[in-house]
Structure 1
C-alpha cells in the first residue's frame, strides 16, 4: 500500500470521469449531431453542438466535478453497511458504516464481521450515486478509493485537488459520509425500536436510565453476500454439475442447491430508492429457512452420569414386549412344556433387545466415555470395551481380558428380572427365589456364549 502515489489515485479519478463523459447519453447525442453537422457543413449546428459538448466536458472536468461532488452532492447520499431503508423504504433515518468502526477480533456468532470482505452500500439521491461509484474504483492490489480513505492513506489528500485547502474540505466531507460523523444522528418512527435493560439486577427498579434504546438496521452488505451465494446456483459450473449428476461413468462434481427460500421485495418498483445494492439485486432479498431443527428421539434408553446400572425401569420399557411375554407366562396355567417354550420366547426377546442396546452404546459412544459415569465397573467393562485401548487404562484392560466381569453382569441381569417379577406379582413373590435366580443367570450366560460363537463383538 505504501507504493500508491497521489498520481495513481488522481489517474483513477480522471479515467473514471472520462468514462462517465463518454457514456453520457447527452454527450453521445451531441457528438453524433456534430458529425452530421460537419458532413452537412452547417456552421450554426456545428457551433451549437460544439458548445454543448464543451459544457459537458467542463462539467466532467476534474476540478469542476470534484468541487460539485465533494461539497454539494456528497450530502445527498449516505454510505453504510447497515441501512435504515431496508427496514422501511421511506425511513429518513441515518445509515451506519460498520467497516469504518472498530470490529471485534473474535466472535461466536455469524455477523457482518464474519466474512473477510463485504460490499459497501449506499442510499440516497440517485443523482449523487456516481460519487459512490467513484469510491468503489480500484486503485491497486484490490484496494478501492473508499478503503484508502478509511485507512487514511497519505496520498489521498493531494490526489483530490491541486488546491490544498479545497482538498482538505473534500476529504473532510467524504469522511463525514463514510464514517457517519453525524452532527445530529436521527432515527425514525418507521424504524423498529427496542428497549434493552442495562442491568440484569436493577432493570425493574424505578431508577431512570436503566434501559438502552436499540434501533436495528438492515445488514444490507451481509444480505448482499447471501444473495450472491444463493445466485451461484445459476452459474454455468453449477448447472453443468447438476445436469451431469444422472450420467453414469463420469466423475460427478458437487453443486449448490437451496431449498425453501423466501423472497422479500424491498423498494417496490424503485429498489434504487432503498440502496444501490438493493437496486443491483432487483429489490430481491433471500430469506433462508429458519425453522427449528427436527430432533429424532433415540429408541434406546439414555445413560445419565449419575445412574449406577443400566438395568432400570427405562430398560424394562425398552424390552417391554419380552417382559409382557414373561408376565403372561407366569399368569398362565401351569404346563411344563408350554411354560418352558414361553419362557424361552420371552427371554429371547428381552436378550435380543438388551444385546442390541449394548451394540448401539459400544458403536456410538466414544472410547473412554465411561470414565465420567457412575455405572458399576462390570457394566463399564461391557459397554465401553474400546477404553482398554487408551493410554493409562492398563487396569481396565487387565480386568476386561480376565472376563470375570461377565459373572457379575449375569447377577445384575438376574436381579433385574427378579425385581420386575416381584413388583408385578407381589402376592406370589416367594416363588421367585434362588432356583429361579440361577435360571435367569443361565439365560444371559447362554446368550453371551452364543454371541461369542458368532463373533458379534458384544462380549
Structure 2
C-alpha cells in the first residue's frame, strides 16, 4: 500500500462511516439484552471483529443484474452480473438502456445481506465497494492498520462482484429450445436458451411507475389534468398494470432489490395495440353521434333497464309509470351531458371539416359557436346558411326526432313492440328535458302532446 496517497481526513471519513454502521446494528441487536449475554453480543460488534466476520461472510452473497430465483424460488442455478453498457444496443426496451446508472442486486444467503449494506454506504458520493475496486489507499487504511489484513479484507469484499465459476442452469429455470440448424427434426440442432429476469431493469421500471402513482409532482400534474388547468410537468399514468409477488412473505430470499420492492414486480398489459382515431374524427360519420352517445357514461345501462322494464309487460300502475319516467329523465340528462362534453372539448368550427358527414341539426347542436366565427371566403354561403339555421330554432326538434327514432330502433331490435307513437314520445321527452342553449330552448308548453307510451 502506498502510504503517500493516504489522506488523514478521508481515512477518518471512511472509518466514521463504517463505525456508525456497525454501531447502529449493534444497538439494534442489544435492545432488551442485559448482563453477560449483552456483553458477548456486543463483543461481536467490535470494529475489527465485525469486519473480519463480514469479510468471511461476503462469499455467501453475489452482486448480480439478472436473478435466477425470480423465475422460481427453488431454482439453484447461476445468477449473472452483466453491466448494461456491455450489452448490444437495440431499438427494443431492455437492460441495455440503463447505461452506467443501474441498480445492482444481490443474491445468496439473506443473513449476509448486511455486508452488502455496508459496501453500498456512500462516502464522497461513491459507494465503499466502488472505492475498494479502485484500491483507494485511504479506505484500505480505514479498514485496518495492518496493511496485509486490510488488503485481504478488501479482496474479499471486491469479490462481491464476480462471475460464476461455470454458469449452470436448473430444471426449475425457464428454458427454451431454439433451433439453430434449420432442421426441426434434428435433435442435435438446438441451443438450450435460458431467459433471465433482469432485476436491475425491473427496479428501474418499478421506481418510475411508483413515482407516477405516488409522486407529489405527478400528483399535482394529475390534479391539473382533471381540472383542465395548465401544468409545467407532463402527467404520466400507467394503466392495465398487474403485480406479481416474488418470494411470498420473505422477498429477501429472492434478492435484495426484490426485498426493497416488497416483492412487488409490475407487469404491463400484454395486449395488441388498439388504434384509435382522434375524438373529432370518430364523430365525423353520418351515424356517429348516437352510436357514441350509447357508449357515453351510464347510457347503455339505462337502455338495458328500459328494455327490461318494457319487456316484462308490467301493469299500468303509478309505480310502473314512475320507473319509466325516471329512466327517460336520466336518458335526457345524459343527452344534455353528452352534448356539453362534445361542445366543450372541441374548438368551435370543427364541423367545418370537409370530412364531416353529420346532418345539419347535429352540427348545430354540437358546434353552435361555429356561427360566431367569421365566414370563410371560399364557403361564405355555407357559413351564412349555418348561422340562419341556428336562429330558425328548428334544429332542436330535428335532433329530438333523431333521438326518438334511434331509441325506438333499439327497443324494436330488443323485441319491444314500439311504433310511431312511442318514437314521438321519446322525442318529446328529449326536447323538454334536454338543456338546449337557452336562446334556442323551446318551452314545454309549445311541444305538441302525443299519446302516452304503451305499458303505463
TM-score bracket relative to the smaller structure: 0.5 to 0.7
- Could you say which residue in structure 2 is the equivalent of 1:130? 114
- Could you say which residue in structure 2 is the equivalent of 1:56? 41
Alpha-carbon separation, structure 1, partners of 2:138 and 2:145: 12
Match of 1:108 among 84, 88, 91: 91
Q: CA deviation at 1:135?
A: 1.3
Q: CA deviation at 1:87?
A: 0.7
Q: CA deviation at 1:82?
A: 0.9
Structural mapping, 1:310-325, within 5 Å: none
1:365-423: CA deviation from partner (whole Å, max 9, x where unpaired)? xxxxxxxxxxxxxxxxxxxxxxxxxxxxxxxxxxxxxxxxxxxxxxxxxxxxxxxxxxx
| 1:6–1:155 Cα contact (<8 Å) kept | yes
Q: CA deviation at 1:153?
A: 4.2
| 2:140–2:151 Cα contact (<8 Å) kept | yes
- Could you say which residue in structure 1 is the equivalent of 2:131? 148
Q: CA deviation at 1:53?
A: 3.6
Matched position secondary structure for 1:177 = coil
Match of 2:235 among 237, 251, 255: 255
Match of 1:228 among 187, 190, 207: 207
Q: CA deviation at 1:244?
A: 4.0
Matched position secondary structure for 2:41 = helix
Q: CA deviation at 1:163?
A: 2.8
Q: Does 1:10 align with 2:10?
A: no
Matched position secondary structure for 1:57 = helix
Q: Does 1:97 align with 2:52?
A: no
Distance 1:74 1:206, change over 3 A: same
Matched position secondary structure for 1:167 = helix
Q: Does 1:240 align with 2:220?
A: yes
Q: Does 1:189 align with 2:171?
A: yes
Alpha-carbon separation, structure 2, partners of 1:248 and 1:297: 22
Distance 1:208 1:241, change over 3 A: closer
Q: Aligned residue pairs: how many?
A: 280
Matched position secondary structure for 2:49 = helix
Q: CA deviation at 1:85?
A: 0.6
Structural mapping, 1:366-385, within 5 Å: none
Q: CA RMSD in A?
A: 3.7
Matched position secondary structure for 1:97 = coil
Match of 2:105 among 92, 109, 121: 121
1:422-449: CA deviation from partner (whole Å, max 9, x where unpaired)? xxxxxxxxxxxxxxxxxxxxxxxxxxxx
Q: CA deviation at 1:65?
A: 0.9
Structure 1 unaligned residues grouped into runs of 5+: 34-48, 299-354, 358-450
Alpha-carbon separation, structure 1, partners of 2:22 and 2:151: 21
Matched position secondary structure for 2:67 = coil
Matched position secondary structure for 1:113 = helix
| 2:129–2:158 Cα contact (<8 Å) kept | no
Matched position secondary structure for 1:29 = coil
| 2:244–2:264 Cα contact (<8 Å) kept | yes
Q: CA deviation at 1:88?
A: 0.6
Distance 1:109 1:147, change over 3 A: farther
Match of 1:29 among 27, 32, 35: 32
1:247-277: CA deviation from partner (whole Å, max 9, x where unpaired)? 4677575332110001111112221211122
- Could you say which residue in structure 1 is the equivalent of 2:25? 20
Alpha-carbon separation, structure 2, partners of 1:205 and 1:261: 37
- Could you say which residue in structure 2 is the equivalent of 1:301? none
Distance 1:169 1:209, change over 3 A: farther
Alpha-carbon separation, structure 1, partners of 2:6 and 2:233: 42
Q: CA deviation at 1:12?
A: 2.0
Alpha-carbon separation, structure 2, partners of 1:219 and 1:286: 13
Structural mapping, 1:26-425, within 5 Å: 27-30=30-33, 49=35, 51-71=36-56, 73-99=57-83, 103-104=86-87, 106-116=89-99, 117-141=101-125, 143-180=126-163, 182-196=164-178, 202=181, 204=183, 212-232=191-211, 233-247=213-227, 254-295=234-275
Distance 1:208 1:13, change over 3 A: farther
Alpha-carbon separation, structure 1, partners of 2:85 and 2:193: 19
Alpha-carbon separation, structure 2, partners of 1:204 and 1:158: 61
Range moving further from structure 2, 269-278 or 167-176? 167-176
| 2:221–2:231 Cα contact (<8 Å) kept | no
Distance 1:248 1:196, change over 3 A: closer
| 1:77–1:124 Cα contact (<8 Å) kept | yes
Matched position secondary structure for 2:17 = helix
Distance 1:155 1:110, change over 3 A: farther
Q: CA deviation at 1:454?
A: 5.7
